[in-house]
Amino acid sequence: MLMTMLSLFVTFVGIGAVAFGGGYAMLPLFERMIVDTHGWLTMTEFLDMLAIAQVTPGPISINSATFIGFQINSVIGAAIATTGLVLVPVILVSLISTNAERFKKSTFAQGIFVGLRPAFVGLIFASVYSVAFDAYVDVYSVLLFIVLFVLLKVFKMHPIFVIFISAIAGYIIYI
C-alpha cells in the first residue's frame, strides 16, 4: 500500500506540475494517468467521478483528485492525491506573487502565456472529445444532450437548473 500511496502522490504532483489552464485542461491528463496508465478507475468510473466532481462545490481538478484518492485509500488517499495536485501550483503562485511586478512586465512571461493558450484550448477539446464518446449510452443520451445544450445556449438557462434537469431526466430514463 505504501508504494501505491507514493505512486498516487507522484502522479498527482506530475499532473499539477504541468496542467496549467484549469480543471478542464487537466482532464485529459487525469484520464491518461488514472484510467490508462494506472488503471485506478475504469472509464465508466472516471465519467461518474467527473459528474460527482462537477456537482460538488469547489474546483473540478481538486474534487477529482480527492475522489480518486478516496477510491484508492479512503481519507489518507484523498489527502495524498489532493496535496500532490496542489503542491507545485502553490509553490509557483507563491514565487510569482512575490515578484508580481517584474513578472507582469516580462515579455518572456507574457510570450509563454500567449503560447500556452492554444494548448489549453486543445486540452479542453481533447477532454470533451474523450468524455463525449464514452458518455454516449444510447439515443436518449444524445437527445438529452441536445435538449440541455439548447436550454443553456438558446434559452440561457442557468447551469444549476440544467444540472438538476439532467439528473431528474437521467433518473426517469435510466432507472
In this structure, the number of other CB atoms found within 10 A of the CB of residue 10 comes to 11
Answer whether 81's CB lies under 8 Å from 12's CB.
yes
More confident residue, 31 or 127: 31
* pLDDT tens digits for range 136-168: 778 998 899 999 999 999 999 999 899 899 999
Terminal C-alpha separation, the chain: 37
Answer whether 26's CB lies under 8 Å from 11's CB.
no
Q: How far apart are CA 24 and CA 20, in angstroms?
A: 10
Cell of 6: 507514493
* pLDDT tens digits for range 81-133: 999 999 999 998 888 888 777 877 888 888 888 888 888 788 778 878 877 77
Q: What is the CA radius of gyration of the chain?
A: 18
Q: What is the mean pLDDT of residues 17-28?
A: 78
Give me the helices (H) in the chain, please. 2-18, 23-30, 43-55, 60-98, 100-105, 107-135, 139-153, 159-174
Q: How many Cα atoms occupy the beta-carbon half-sphere of 108 within 13 Å? A: 2
Q: Looking up cell 436518449, which residue turns up?
A: 140
Specify the pLDDT at position 27. 83
pLDDT at 21 over 70: no
* pLDDT tens digits for range 34-76: 999 999 999 989 989 988 888 888 888 899 999 999 999 999 9
Q: What is the mean pLDDT of residues 10-22?
A: 86
Cell of 143: 437527445
Residues 6+ apart with CB under 8 A from 111: none
